[in-house]
């Protein structure tokens, strides 16, 4: 049986209280019959049917709450002073009183007030009754056909368009949106979700109020923002954030979607060349082995989260812009990061260094990746703090060499299947520069920030085969349990 608040008699005083009591008793009976601890006894169709009926009942309850919340707000009008309903219960705002009575959040209480005020009968300053601002929404809400969230999405957007739109046009839009929300003419009678209704309502608003979009666009443009912290967190991270206009955000989404397309999941063939380096590779990668763990078909999958992948693409974007011809120069050089590191740290391959301008120390693995790239100038100091040497341009892969590597290896990161553009990649010495490796095209390859780090920490190995870089998985990774 499907019930809504409208199924019960409209009454005042004790009759209204009796109707609500009957509704709550019915709900309790429904829940008892459902036996929520044993829903597995229901068939799939039964489960969906009963879920729809309960949702209908909940929507009816929301309609009652919205109407009551609007009335609480009216009785709490500041013009009533200390005689207002909220004030008499020691609350400054009606939403606070509703929170206390219902246990809902502040946002939910405020939404109930707004929806109720827009969908229930109003009273003029002269005390005369006025029709609801949105009667079609109110009717669907009171019949339990739509919920408060859907009602809010429709009435909010149309209210924004109302000052500059024709009344009859608003009515047409309201009817169309309510029809979609209850399922009329949409996917064989299925209702449109609250999120989809919000999208449709915004489209109606823009059509009804074509002159209003420019002021909003200007306001959005003025509110664009980006910030980045100067200090690092205790975890060694630098926080940043902000907001951009819709066109910039759309371009960024398109770029990220293209680079992080799931069809191009990274997979890497293992190597037969042993290496005796250890790192926390388990946090980044997982095995996907065949029945024979030592088989050449054993593979690794990229286990980075979506957020980690986006962060790595952002790192590549910074590198690409910093190396571009149009980037501003400082004393004739592109934007430069200076790292100071004690000579014994490089010899022992452990310890810390310092990035000039950053208070917190950085690890050796970070230093190794930084000084491998062409755009970094290392400053070597002895334990007493005296400068031993300053990196020079000899270790730098210049623009011509980079272009040559792109022509040889392709327009993306040299790691198989990675789609980060090569223009945003870091240059890597296949034979380390510190071990005599030349800064030459035959000893270099371009890798994105993430894969460059994986190479420098020993998870992957690189060798030049027939003049091209070949990436393989370290032997110690293959000995992990997930390959057995």
Rg, C-alpha atoms of the chain: 32
Helix, strand or coil for residue 53?
helix
Worst-scoring range by mean pLDDT, 135-144, 260-269, 428-437? 260-269
Residue 421, strand partner residues: 412
236, two tokens: 């060694």
Domains in the chain: boundaries: 5-216, 224-259, 306-478
pLDDT band, very low/low/confident/very high, at 5 (cuts 50, 70, 90): very low
Q: At a CB cut-off of 8 Å and minimum separation 6, what does 385 contact?
A: none
CA 378/CA 389 separation, integer angstroms? 8
Tell me the pLDDT tens digit for each residue of 32-63: 666 777 788 888 888 888 888 888 888 888 99
Q: Is the dihedral of CA 409, 410, 411, 412 positive or negative?
A: negative
pLDDT at 395 over 80: no
% of the chain surpassing 70 pLDDT: 74
Strands across the sheet with 362-363, in order? 362-363, 352-355, 337-342, 376-381, 387-390
57, two tokens: 């009942």
- 439 φ/ψ angles, rounded to the nearest 5 degrees: -90, 80
CA 36/CA 48 separation, integer angstroms? 14
pLDDT of residue 400: 84
DSSP 101-147: HH---HHHHHHHHHHHHHHS-EE-TTS-EE--SSHHHHHHHHTTSS-
**256 in Cβ contact with 424 (< 8 Å):** no
The CA–CA distances, whole Å, from 139 to 6, 20, 113, 119, 143 equal 10, 20, 17, 8, 6
Across 343-386, where does the E strand assignment appear?
352-355, 362-363, 376-381
In 3D, which of 141, 135, 142 has the Cα closest to residue 158?
Answer: 135
Q: Of all helices (H) and strands (E), which one includes residue 246?
A: helix 246-259
Q: At a CB cut-off of 8 Å and minimum separation 6, what does 484 contact?
A: 289, 293
Mean pLDDT of the chain: 78
**202 in Cβ contact with 195 (< 8 Å):** no
pLDDT at 297 over 60: no
**379 in Cβ contact with 391 (< 8 Å):** yes
Helices 106-119 and 44-75, axial angle in degrees (round to 10): 80
* 208 Rama sector, left if φ>0, alpha if ψ -120 to 50, beta otherwise: alpha
49, two tokens: 């049917």
pLDDT band, very low/low/confident/very high, at 25 (cuts 50, 70, 90): confident
Residue 259 burial class via C-beta count within 10 angstroms: exposed 0-12, middle 13-18, buried 19 and up: buried
Worst-scoring range by mean pLDDT, 8-12, 308-312, 388-392, 464-468? 8-12
Taking residues 282-299, report their average pLDDT.
47
pLDDT of residue 346: 74
Residue 469, strand partner residues: 464
pLDDT band, very low/low/confident/very high, at 149 (cuts 50, 70, 90): very high
Give 384 or 7, the one with higher predicted confidence. 384
pLDDT of residue 132: 92
Residue 342, strand partner residues: 381
**133 in Cβ contact with 158 (< 8 Å):** no
Q: Is the dihedral of CA 407, 412, 413, 415 positive or negative?
A: negative
- Other C-beta atoms closer than 10 Å to the C-beta of 40 total 6
- Other C-beta atoms closer than 10 Å to the C-beta of 157 total 24
Tell me the pLDDT tens digit for each residue of 177-195: 999 998 875 555 678 889 9
Residue 301, strand partner residues: 267, 286
The CA–CA distances, whole Å, from 42 to 28, 48, 50, 52, 212 equal 19, 9, 10, 14, 51
CA 296/CA 441 separation, integer angstroms? 29
Q: At a CB cut-off of 8 Å and minimum separation 6, what does 163 contact?
A: 209
Residue 71, strand partner residues: none
In 3D, which of 201, 177, 181 has the Cα closest to residue 189?
Answer: 181
Helices 148-161 and 135-142, axial angle in degrees (round to 10): 180
pLDDT of residue 298: 46
Give Cα 454 to chain centroid, integer Å: 25
């Amino acid at each position: 049986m499907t019930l809504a608040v409208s199924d019960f008699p409209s009454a005042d005083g004790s009759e209204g209280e009796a109707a609500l009591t009957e509704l709550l008793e019915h709900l309790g009976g429904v829940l008892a019959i459902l036996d929520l601890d044993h829903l597995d006894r229901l068939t799939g169709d039964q489960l969906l049917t009963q879920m729809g009926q309960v949702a209908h009942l909940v929507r009816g309850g929301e309609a009652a709450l919205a109407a009551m919340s609007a009335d609480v707000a009216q009785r709490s009008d500041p013009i009533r002073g200390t005689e207002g309903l909220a004030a008499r219960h020691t609350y400054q705002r009606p939403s606070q009183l509703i929170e206390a009575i219902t246990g809902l959040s502040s946002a939910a209480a405020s939404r109930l007030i707004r929806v109720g005020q827009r969908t229930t009968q109003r009273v003029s300053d002269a005390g005369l009754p006025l029709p609801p601002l949105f009667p079609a929404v109110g009717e669907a809400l009171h019949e339990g056909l739509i919920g408060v969230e859907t009602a809010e999405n429709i009435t909010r957007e149309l209210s924004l368009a109302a000052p500059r739109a024709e009344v009859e046009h608003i009515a047409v839009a309201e009817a169309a949106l309510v029809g979609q929300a209850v399922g009329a003419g949409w996917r064989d009678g299925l209702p449109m979700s609250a999120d989809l209704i919000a999208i449709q309502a915004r489209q109606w608003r823009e059509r009804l109020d074509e002159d209003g979009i420019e002021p909003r666009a200007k306001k959005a443009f003025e509110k664009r923002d980006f910030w980045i912290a100067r200090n690092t967190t205790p975890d060694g991270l630098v926080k940043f954030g902000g907001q951009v206009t819709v066109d910039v955000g759309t371009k960024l989404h398109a770029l990220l979607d293209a680079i992080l397309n799931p069809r191009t999941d990274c997979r890497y063939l293992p190597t037969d060349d042993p290496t005796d380096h250890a790192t926390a590779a388990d946090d980044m990668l997982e095995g996907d082995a065949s029945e024979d763990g030592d088989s050449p078909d054993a593979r690794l999958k990229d286990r980075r989260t979506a957020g980690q992948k986006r962060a790595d693409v952002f790192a590549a974007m910074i590198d690409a812009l910093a190396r571009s011809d149009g980037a501003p120069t400082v004393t004739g050089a592109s934007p430069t990061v200076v790292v100071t590191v004690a000579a014994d740290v490089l010899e022992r391959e452990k310890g810390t260094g310092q990035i000039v301008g950053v208070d917190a120390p950085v690890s050796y693995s970070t230093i190794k990746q930084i000084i491998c790239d062409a755009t970094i100038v290392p400053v070597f100091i002895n334990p007493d703090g005296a400068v031993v040497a300053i990196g020079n341009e000899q270790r730098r892969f210049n623009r011509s060499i980079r272009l040559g590597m792109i022509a040889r290896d392709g327009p993306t990161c040299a790691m198989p299947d990675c789609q980060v553009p090569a223009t945003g990649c870091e240059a890597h010495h296949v034979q380390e520069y510190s071990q005599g490796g030349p800064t030459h095209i035959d000893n270099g390859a371009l890798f994105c920030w993430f894969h460059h780090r994986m190479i420098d920490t020993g998870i992957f190995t690189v060798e030049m085969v027939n003049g091209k870089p070949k990436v393989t998985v370290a032997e110690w990774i293959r000995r992990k349990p997930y390959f057995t």
